[in-house]
Structure 1
Amino acid sequence: MELEAHVHETIREIPEREWDALHGVDEAPFLSWAWFDALERTGCVGEEAGWLPHHITLRAEGALLAAAPAYLKDNSEGEFVFDHGWASASYQIGAPYYPKLVVAVPFTPATSPRLLVRRAEDRPALLPVLAETLRRLVERSRLSSAHVLFPTADEAAALAGSRMAHRHGIQFQFENEGYGTFDDFLGRFNAKRRHQIRREMREPSRQGISITTLRGAEITPEIVDVMFGYYASTVQKFAWGRQYLNRAFFEEIVARLRGREGGAGAGGVEIVLAREGRRPIAGAFNLAGPTALYGRYWGASEERPFLHFNVCYYHPVEDCIARGLRRFEPGAGGSHKLVRGFAPRVTHSAHHLAHPRLDAAVREFLARERAAVRERTADASVAFR
């Protein structure tokens, strides 16, 4: 069976029904056709943003066997796998680093399948095909490199076995070890830490603040306005912040991927809202899949003690336990999550660099970096226990 690789400059060249039928799409809302389409329609990706759609499909006799979300990049923004040092080294040897090709979900540092396949059992055989396809695209288009960001561990291992360089990172995530209640989760801490967490959790109530998760029709246009305002204000607080998303995207994605009301089985966009009386004062924009919750954006109109921890950590963890979700990924960074029950987890990426000298230098660096990540993860795991 001969496979044909195709590149698509818009997700709309791939039928929505075909894309959404692929195995892996249902694991996370940000892998759905609607998510990528909303990014394109609202201008959050495109030439001006430096994310040009370059989606890859693999077909046999016209039938779609696999697909991967991909983009041509003329910068390294919004990826969360930092390669600015590689770009500098590339220019020093006279090899421009941009444009490059990334297989990724824009602005989303969350682990999930990167090769979406018609049949799950075909993924191991098709991952080497993806690696070879990326090499050919790099050569044909005279790109510097191709990068697969935040794949699953199995995907990363397979791509590494197909001669791509393997990179490790660290995130702090909540793993549900079969907890029946939040108190069961607290049982893993010593008495001092349990007392501190309970004290932090009581603080909003003491101030007359309620925290709830909104889904479905509960997410009104007014709530969308509030949440976008929180997102934008948080970005503006930091010199390194970048507002990748616009108001139109928030409106469209909520309308298209609004989570169903009710905890069990709900999925899609969810908003954790903190109110003082009826007045919103903080919120978090989350995404729920069938087994995992993903924390994406947070903001507040007022600074209150421990409000961030409650909206972004404790309330979602309670929700995961109540719904039986296996994992909560609150996002990149933040070693302060460790003392609040989030364990260190290795994240992955895979890289093909066309220039031999740059490839050799990066591989040498990655060997040292992987060792450092293993050591840091082991040290953090000891502290976590």
Structure 2
Amino acid sequence: MDGGDGFTLRVADRLAAIDEAAWNACAGSDNPFLSYGFLSALEDSRSVSAKTGWLPQHLLLEDTAGRLIGAVPLYLKSHSWGEYVFDHSWADAYERAGGNYYPKLQAAVPFTPVPGPRLLVRPDAPSGAADLLIEGLVEVATRHKVSSLHVTFPHAADWQRLGDAGFLQRIGQQFHWTNEGYASFEDFLGALNSRKRKSIRKERRVATEGGITLRTLVGSDITPGHWDAFHRFYLATVDRKWGGAYLTREFFELLPARLGEKIVLVVAERDGRTIAGALNLRGSDTLYGRNWGADGDYPFLHFEACYYRAIDFAIEHGLARVEAGAQGQHKIQRGYLPSETYSAHWIRDPGLRKAIGNFLDRERPAMRAEMAQLATLSPFRQGGEG
């Protein structure tokens, strides 16, 4: 595809066809989920493939010298699973009206509701590179004759740029913890009202009763035995939630070799046996919660491993925030407050586009009103509150 002014847009159906350093120069180092290592681990482990309904169609923008200056992680989808921005009702309505909603295109990190840039542009790229990527996305969608193109969990700047280009805009919410310069977990607790401080202290105490101990392991501290246990927990969690086991065992073998010290695994042990684990990835200023699993039900252990140990780690390492994944209003009472997330949607059919646009025009203010209401549940002290 001609990107104008001598720039070239093309599609790669596998990350292995792209130079790793060139991709990472566009993706940057802030968010590990956009790195070549993470995305290639998904593909090389066959967690992402045409068979699983995620066919790579990565969009690449090259300059006149053939240098990669922009990219979008892009997939041709045959379903709507593993996205965390739900469009099943849109698909159902379009199918009932006689249309074919699938296949569709998805610009995203598969199975990962982590906000981050989606229009990946080298810092020294020309100013119009991001706009050329948007044009390329629409061109790919047009050539594939798909019903729609969805850009999920972009940063606000990308979301606004996509909206300016005519994409429909949607907002969602997650719950994030912000480090206000706390010196310790107790310092963080001091910012909460007394009732919440007592509640969290009790939860932390109960979580480690019965001989349970927790360790936070980083990179090379994590052994193959830990990964065996964690994959077992992952499968057990999938079974309990009636979901799909997207990630293969091989993915967990490739991940440590490719992300190394960016991996933070909290493990819970009892009587020398690993009974639970919480997988996180570390970015430049953020700890991202990814997966949790356990071999049974243990009171408050999920909160301790996923939320409190993540806060401990962020404070110790001077990280600005913890993003603990999708959903979960229960996180508010543990210091994780509502934060907007974004998605942008290109819809081919004018009728479907109008219907979805009308829905989103109503949904956005309703979502922001809900977030404002949830924010009133904040556990942090107000005024002279103890």
Q: Give the TM-score band, short-chain normalised.
A: over 0.9
Task: Say if 2:208 and 2:301, in contact at 8 Å, map to a contact too.
Answer: no
- Take 1:121 and 1:34, find their aligned partners in 2: how far apart are those partners? 23
| Mean CA deviation greater in 173-182 or 191-200 | 173-182
Residues of 1 paired with 2:194 and 2:260: CA distance? 40
SS at match of 1:46: coil
Deviation of 1:184 after TM superposition, in Å, equals 2.2
Q: Is the 8 A contact 2:69 2:125 kept in 1?
A: no
RMSD: 1.4
CA positional deviation for 1:302:
2.9
- C-alpha separation in 2, matches of 1:197 and 1:157: 38
Amino acid at match of 2:99: A
Q: Find the aligned partners of 2:224 and 2:245 in 1 and give their Cα distance.
A: 20
1:365 paired with 2:359, answer yes
Q: Gaps spanning 5+ residues in structure 2: where?
A: 381-386
What is the Cα deviation at residue 158 of structure 1? 1.1
- In the TM superposition, 1:279-358 aligns within 5 A as 279-358=273-352
Alignment of 1:80-119 (within 5 A): 80-119=84-123
Alignment of 1:153-168 (within 5 A): 153-168=156-171
Offset of residue 121 of structure 1? 7.3
Q: Deviation per CA, 1:185-205, whole angstroms, max 9, x where unpaired?
A: 212321111101011112234
- Equivalent position to 1:376, from 370, 374, 381: 370
- After superposition, give the CA deviation of every residue in 1:123-163 in whole Å (9 maximum; x if it has no partner): x6333222221221121111111111100011101110111
Q: Distance in 2 between matches of 1:357 and 1:188?
A: 50
Q: CA deviation at 1:315?
A: 0.8
Return 39-48 or 179-188, whichever deviates more. 179-188
Contact 2:148 2:347 (C-alpha < 8 Å) held by counterparts = yes
Which of residues 220, 227, 231 is equivalent to 1:217?
A: 220
Cα shift readout 1:200-253 (whole Å, capped 9, x = no counterpart): 1122344322211111221111111011111111111122x1110011111111
Deviations 1:3-58 (A, max 9, x none): 21110100111111111122x43112221112222211111111110000000011
Q: TM-score, normalised by structure 2?
A: 0.94
Q: Distance in 2 between matches of 1:121 and 1:198?
A: 50
Tell me the residue number matched to 1:198. Answer: 201
Secondary structure at the aligned position of 2:177 is classed as strand
Match of 1:244 among 243, 246, 252: 246
1:188 partner amino acid: A
* Alpha-carbon separation, structure 1, partners of 2:133 and 2:125: 15
Q: Residue 21 of structure 2 corresponds to which residue in structure 1?
A: 17
Asked if 2 retains the 8 angstrom alpha-carbon contact of 1:131 and 1:164, the reply is no
**1:173-184 equivalence runs, <5 A:** 173-184=176-187
Q: Which runs of structure 2 are paired with 1:47-196 in the superposition (5 Å)?
A: 47-61=50-64, 62-119=66-123, 122=126, 125-196=128-199
Maintained 8 Å contact 2:71/2:133: no
Give, in whole Å, the separation in 2 of the partners of 1:273 and 1:165. 41
The AA in structure 1 aligned to 2:110 is P
Aligned to 2:256: 254
Following superposition, the deviation at residue 120 of structure 1 comes to 6.4
Distance 1:51 1:26 in 2: 24
Offset at 1:373?
A: 0.9
Match of 1:38 among 34, 41, 44: 41
Q: Is 57-66 or 28-37 further displaced after alignment?
A: 28-37
Structure 1 stretch 290-299 or stretch 133-142: which is displaced more?
133-142
What's 1:2 paired with?
6
Matched-pair contact (CA < 8 Å) for 1:258–1:270:
no
Q: Which moved more, 1:125-134 or 1:82-91?
A: 125-134
TM-score of the pair, normalised by structure 1: 0.94
Structure 2 CA distance for aligned equivalents of residues 126 and 378 of structure 1: 36
Name the SS for the 2:50 alignment partner.
coil
Among 230, 234, 252, the alignment partner of 1:231 is: 234
The letter for the 2-side match of 1:79 is E
Contact 2:168 2:357 in 1 (8 A): yes
SS at match of 2:244: coil
Q: Distance in 1 between matches of 2:124 and 2:105?
A: 25
Per the alignment, do residues 351 and 336 of structure 1 end up closer, same or farther by CA in structure 2, a change over 3 Å counting?
A: same
Equivalent pairs counted in the alignment come to 374
1:347-383 CA-partner distances (Å, limit 9, x unpaired):
0011100100111111110111111110011001111
Alpha-carbon distance, 1:116 to partner:
1.4
Structure 1 segments unaligned to the other structure (5+ residues): 260-267
